Structure formats: structure tokens, C-alpha cells
Amino acid sequence: MTKRVILPIVTLCIAALIFFTVKNNWTSWEGGSTEQQTDDAYLRADMTPLSTRVSGTVRRVNVNDYQTVQPGQMLVQLDDEDYRATLGEAQAALEGAKAQLADNQAAKLVEDAKIQSSEALVSQATSAVDAAKAAVASAQADVLRTSQERARQEALLSSKATTRQQMESTIADADRFTGMSASRQADLDRANASLASSRSLLEADRRQRQALNTHDAEYKAQIQAKEAAITVANVNLGYTRISAPTAGSVGERHVLEGQLVAPGVQIIDLVKGDVWVQANFKETQLTNIRKGDTADITVDTFPGVTLHGKVEEIAPASGSQFALLPPDNATGNYTKVVQRIPVKILLDPDHPLKDRLRPGFSAVVTVHASGKGSRKGDPQS
């Protein structure tokens, strides 16, 4: 009876010991293996969705579905008549702005000639004023002299020391020089007026020349604006030709001839030729996986063929963190789930299936982990 009770108890204790031993050491056993394998792996390639930058009608689609293309090969051509017309209009506007600038340059030369002529007139008027001033001074000296002579003759006549004829001659000379002085003063006034008029004309010409300088800057700014408009028109015209940015294969066409498209419409997908592997390892498998570790890959489509590659990168976060709605474990009930981390593996460039692999193929990946012997504190640890 005692054996029948003790034996089940011992068996149960041994089973419990094995269970807790496995439970507490499973993660370290799994991560410590030098061969880490996962079947959660797929072939990937860089895919570029090509879209339109301008609106227009599809004139021509130059490729078929799944066709191989080369860099720069035109894939889709939009109707470009409107954009060519816009470019021609911008070019015509530029020529008009350049013509206005040339006319303004000619007007500046004419105005410079006017300024030189006005400066000559001012110089002549200034000389005329100086001559008139000298004439006035000379006339005033004669007036003073004849006035003094008249006074002297009047005094002599009162004392009967001169003749009346001499007196009358002296009076006539005094009146004549007085009139001449008035005439010279009038000439001076006219010379001053002419000088003021010449200076006003010169100032007007200079202001007109300054205005032409202002127009000059305005026309140059217009030329720059027209040149920018031509650049934009050329860019928009170039957008009517959608070309392959790199070598690869196109996916399904999303547009056909005659279809009206708007900016941002996806028209075709381009798949680059270089295929790589995304292996989603469990977080407990990454303990010893390092960048540069070698890997063996088998693709489900080609059983029996083993490809080789190297670990290129390990994702900075788990796949769930990149999801549209990342999980928030801080709310509600929590159930611990082992996360998976994407690992990018590049295939050897000389693998035998180079032209036959397609993105989306399923694969099984085995990584030869090299980090088991890494020292503590090693950046690769």
C-alpha cells in the first residue's frame, strides 16, 4: 500500500521538477543555440509606386504587365500639348521682358545725351551770367564817373568857370551811361533766368535718368521671374513622361491610354531586381545573432536548393511597433506573447536563382549565430 502511494508522488515530483526546469531555462536554451531557424520568412524587394505629378490624359503606355525595364526607360506618356503651350508662353514673356530691358537701355543712352546737353547749357548760362555781371560792374563804374563829372560841371557852371555846352555834354554822357547800366542789369536778369531754366532742365533730365534706372531693376526682376516660369514649365513638361528610376520589373498597370489622371494617382509599380530575405525571428532567438552572420535559405518554390547570405540588419523594433495600431499593454488584461523582430538578410550575389526569385516567396532561414562567445560589454553583444 505504501509503494502504491509513494510511487505516484515521486513521479509527480519528478515531472514537476522537469516542467519548472524547462520553463525557467527554455529561453536561454533557445537563444543559446548557434543555429537559429525560422519559417516565418519571405523574399522582399524594394518596390516603388510611380505616381503622376501633373494632371493630364494618358497618351501612351509603353510597357506591359510584369515587363523588365531599364533605368530611364519611359513607361507612361501623358498628353503634353498644354504644357508645351505654357512653356512657349513663358518663353515669349521672357523675350518681351528682355526687349523692354533693351528699350530701357537705349532710353538711358538718350537721357545721358540730354543730361550732357543740359550740362553744356548750364555751363553756357553760367558764363553768360558772369559776363553780364562784369558788364553791369563796368557800366556802374561809368555811371559813377559821369555822375561825379556832372556834379563838378554844375559847380563850375555856377561860378562861370565852364560853358553851358560842356555842361550839356556831361549831362548827356551821364544819362547815356545810366541807361547803359540799366540795360546791362536787364541782361544780367535774363542770364540769371536762363541759368535757372537750364538748371531746372538738367535736374529734370537727371530725375528721368534715375527713373530709368528704377525701370531697369524692374525689368531685370521681370526677366528673373520669367526665367523661373520657364523652369517651372520645363519641369511640368518633364512630369508628363514617367520613366523608370532604376532597373527592375513593372507590376500591373493601373492606367490605360485615354484615361484622365490627376496629381498623385498611382499609375504603375516598379519592383527592383535585387531580392533580399526578411526573416521574422522570435525575440528569444536573437540572443546571439549578430550583423554579418551567415545564413542558409531554402525557398519553398525551389525545394532542394540552398541559398546563402549574410545578416545585413536587425530591425530597431518589433513588427508590432510598426503596425498601424501598436498594442498598448498598459491597459486591460495582459497576456505575454513572444514578439518577432524582422532581420534583413542579403543573398550572395552569385546565387543560382538570381533571375527566378520573386518578392513574396516563402522561405526557411537558418542563421549561424556568432555571438555566443561574445564578451560582456562587446558592442555586438
Q: Is the pLDDT of residue 377 over 50?
A: no
Q: Give span(s): CATH 1.10.287, the chain.
A: 82-235
Average pLDDT on 123-134 reads 81
Q: Is 281 exposed, middle or buried (0-12, 13-18, 19+ CB in 10 A)?
A: buried
Q: Is the pLDDT of residue 218 over 50?
A: yes
* Ranges of H-type helices in the chain: 2-32, 81-158, 164-238
Q: What's the pLDDT score for residue 86? A: 93
pTM of the full structure: 0.62
Q: Indicate the SS3 state at residue 57.
A: strand
Angle at 213 between CA 210 and CA 216, to 5 degrees: 155
Tell me the C-alpha distance between 362 and 309, whole Å.
16
- 135 touches 189 (CB < 8 A): no
What residues contact residue 52 under an 8 Å CB cut-off, 6+ apart? 78, 239, 242, 261, 262, 263, 264, 265, 267
Class of the CATH-defined domain 82-235 = mainly alpha
Q: What's the pLDDT score for residue 380? A: 45
- 31 touches 286 (CB < 8 A): yes
CA dihedral 194, 197, 199, 201 (to 10 degrees): -130
Q: Is the pLDDT of residue 381 over 60?
A: no
Tell me the C-alpha distance between 359 and 253, whole Å.
18
Q: How confident is the model at residue 23 (pLDDT cuts 50, 70, 90)?
A: low
Q: Indicate the SS3 state at residue 239.
A: coil
Per-chain mean pLDDT for the chain: 83
Q: Strand pairing partners for 41?
A: 279, 363
Residues 68-82 pLDDT 10s: 899 999 999 999 999
Tell me the C-alpha distance between 285 and 38, whole Å.
9
Q: How confident is the model at residue 10 (pLDDT cuts 50, 70, 90)?
A: low
* Ranges of H-type helices in 239-313: none
Query: What proportion of the chain, given as a percentage, has pLDDT over 70?
Result: 85
Q: Give span(s): CATH 2.40.30.170, the chain.
A: 30-79+248-324+335-373
Q: Is 91 exposed, middle or buried (0-12, 13-18, 19+ CB in 10 A)?
A: middle
Least confident of 73-82, 193-202, 221-230: 193-202
CATH number of 30-79+248-324+335-373: 2.40.30.170
Q: How confident is the model at residue 366 (pLDDT cuts 50, 70, 90)?
A: very high
